[in-house]
Amino acid sequence: MSIETRKTDKILIKNLVVRNTVGVDSWERCKTQPVVINVCLYTDITPAGDSDHVTKSIHYGHVTKAVTKVAEETTFRSFEELAHAIVKVGIIKFGAVKATVKVEQPRALLHAASAGVEVTRTSADLAELAAALEKQEKSGGASTSFETVGDVSGFGYEDVVFVKDLKLSTIIGVNPWEREEKQVVVINLHIYPLTRSEEQKSYHVRTIVRSVSRHIEASGYKTVEAFVAAIARICLEKCHVSKITVKVEKPSALVFAESAGVEITRDQQWLKEIQEEESKGGKTYAHFMEQSRFADVPANYTHSAFIAVGSNVGNPIANIESALALLESQCSSTVVDTSFLYETPPMYYTDQAPFLNGAIKILTSLSPEDLLRKLKEVEAELGRQPSFRNAPRPIDLDILFYDDIVYNSEVLTIPHPKIQEREFVLWPLCDIAKGMEHPTLFRTCGQMLSQLLKVTAETPEGPLKITKVLPMHRSANVMWKWDAKTYVMGILNATPDSFSDGGEHMNVEAAVAHAERMAEEGADMIDIGGMSTRVNADETFPVDEEIRRVVPVIQALRAKGFKLPISIDTFRAEVAEAAVQAGADLINDVSGGSRDPEMLAVMAKTKVPVCLMHMRGTATTMQSKENTTYENDDVVEDINQKLQHLIDQAIGSGVYRWNIIVDPGIGFAKTGSQNFDILREMKQIIGHDAPLEGFPCLVGPSRKKFIGDATGVSEASKRGYGTAAAVAASIAGGASIIRVHDVREMSEVAKVSDSVWKKGRDL
């Protein structure tokens, strides 16, 4: 027998139970918990076997004592860290040539039997690891741990993170009785690490289980095959795992068997292939979209950071936008995502103006402290002066997270030490990183916000009054507060062929008079259009003609001191840019930026709010059978997918999330029944946990054909009562803006509807 073969002899310790604090328990508390450890040390037992002397082998009693000492006298942040510490005991202290350690926590997850990790290292691995760490320390790099499973340092290719017997209740099965009552399914997950060629992505077992559980408990699959594939896809797509084995069992499936089930193994290559197939089939999924602007990010911008932004001096929105521009021009960084904006009361020092707060995600080449220095330079350039702590400031930029590291120095702590106590940080952070897990608190941003809200609700003061807002750029003092009321957008058609009022406002004087009249009747914004979007409308006339129809009206209104925000209704980039230069405050594009290849760039450059609408085809083709036929007859699902795609494209082109409004496109490529489906199911688009949750929504049902078909009123201008019902339904579904012809009447409908459905509205 060769020496190498004899080195595969094993010393085994099975199910050693220790008490330790490893992360948090099933209720996410830092408590002492039982941990089960299995150790396999590879060595040559020949000398002990020949002499019958244990001193010539690795003494399992000594190993047990050493492992227990390490496990019980140290607090570890993760299973991986504990497992690696035990591996080092086996290899360095006891001389094993190789060690496999399994760490299992029976109380890790509320609905699973256990979770844990199994790692394998060799003596050569540890020698290389020590050299890598020494090199990093000498270079002064950030304290990124090499002790994680599947780290790109190159170790741990045999490692696995596992979740054992996760039990969930869901509808699953093809039999009629299985569609009526939920049954228990048992899920086992084995998650494999990255390879050297793959980009590192962070994931955590709690995040994975949370994502899987939320999806499965709300699902209703007919087959276990589809069920298990969906779980694999969620883990690969949303949680960024490299490779996963999923086993799903149905204990209730067979009378004379313990269970029936399916097991599959899938990886990122599989995900890429099915994405390509779906793309060919015309499907789009939010998490699969390539954001066009990201292709321009320099290759050395390999670090991601989340930064809190805030301002309460001067013009806050201008300050924030200037800060983002300086980040990109002077800080070796690219802004890749933005939150919504929130008006928040000051904390700590309260005798000052409210703040405008948001959060951004950047890609950067800078180290944490270099990034901090650059942020301080940006603050100084925008006028921030040294003052007392928590004083008013024109701009405030704080690093919240940097990659997934934990970093502490004299000048910087990452993650930011006060994230968990600041609503004004967590609200915007949850817009772009709700599922991101805090590396030391072991809670996602969403969980931290939820728990903070529960705590503040019990205080005498109650929760802070934090309001999502939209700044209107041309009027610095106009701030639309989305929870305050439903805003009324009055329609001004400077067109000869609109379906309801074509030709009535073609000259500037008539258009201005109509805008002023709508303002008196209660409009909050005027939407000016120079091209009809009715069915079979002419879309071929020159751009110059459309500009000639709308720009003089905008200029005349602004010259008269017209105070309301103005929207430009167009899908042409040149028209939009000319209108904004003339004084328009919002771009309302029925194509969502998809018809004109230059539109997204104009939206990003002008930095005005934009409305992205769902539609198919053109004015000539949108009501064809092809464009009104939706997969599974589900128009709402198509709206969700298409609008998410449009949002991704806009953000990827530099449009800020806080400037985006969505529109389901009532009357555009929809049949009458589909329009009613939209009104009935608005909450499936923008409600709690809906795909577009958080985005303000514009709905424009005014005088449209589906209302006439339902009421029998053929003349568009006489469809006021039917429009009122549609407006009320829109507001009940969560609409933030209604686009209407009859401003006075619909303003009254909105006020009454707000009193019923919008909490906190002042009467």
Q: Active-site residue among 572, 703, 739, 758?
A: 739
Specify whether the CB–CB gap between 162 and 117 falls below 8 A.
yes
Q: Give the angle subtended at the CA of 210 by the CAs of 208 and 211, to the nearest 5°.
A: 65
Q: What is the largest CA-CA distance in the chain?
A: 110
HSE, side-chain direction, 13 A CA sphere, residue 360: 24
CA pair distance 104, 249, nearest whole angstrom: 21
Exposure b/e, 246-280, CB count within 10 A at least 16 = b: bbbbbeebeeeeeeebbeeebbbebbeeebeeeee
Does the annotation count 704 as an active-site position? yes
Q: How many residues does the chain have?
A: 763
Backbone angles phi, psi at 569, to 5 degrees: -95, 100
Q: Which residues contact 708 (CB under 8 A, 6 or more apart)?
A: 714, 715, 716, 719, 722
Q: Are the CB atoms for 662 and 698 separated by under 8 Å?
A: yes
- In one-letter notation, the amino acid at residue 375 is L
Return the structure tokens found at 640.
């969700």
DSSP label of 353 = P
- Phi-psi domain of 297 (left: phi exceeds 0; alpha: psi -120 through 50; beta: other): beta
Catalytic residue among 468, 704, 719, 758: 704
Can you tell me whether residue 599 is helix, strand or coil? helix
3-state secondary structure of 370: helix
Is 739 assigned a catalytic role?
Answer: yes
CB atoms < 10 A from the CB of 64, how many?
15
Residue 654, C-beta contacts closer than 8 angstroms, at least 6 positions apart: 293, 335, 600, 601, 604, 605
Question: What's the start-to-end Cα distance of the chain, in Å?
Answer: 90
- Tell me how far apart the alpha carbons of residues 364 and 403 are, in angstroms, rounded to a whole number: 10
Which residues are tagged catalytic?
704, 739
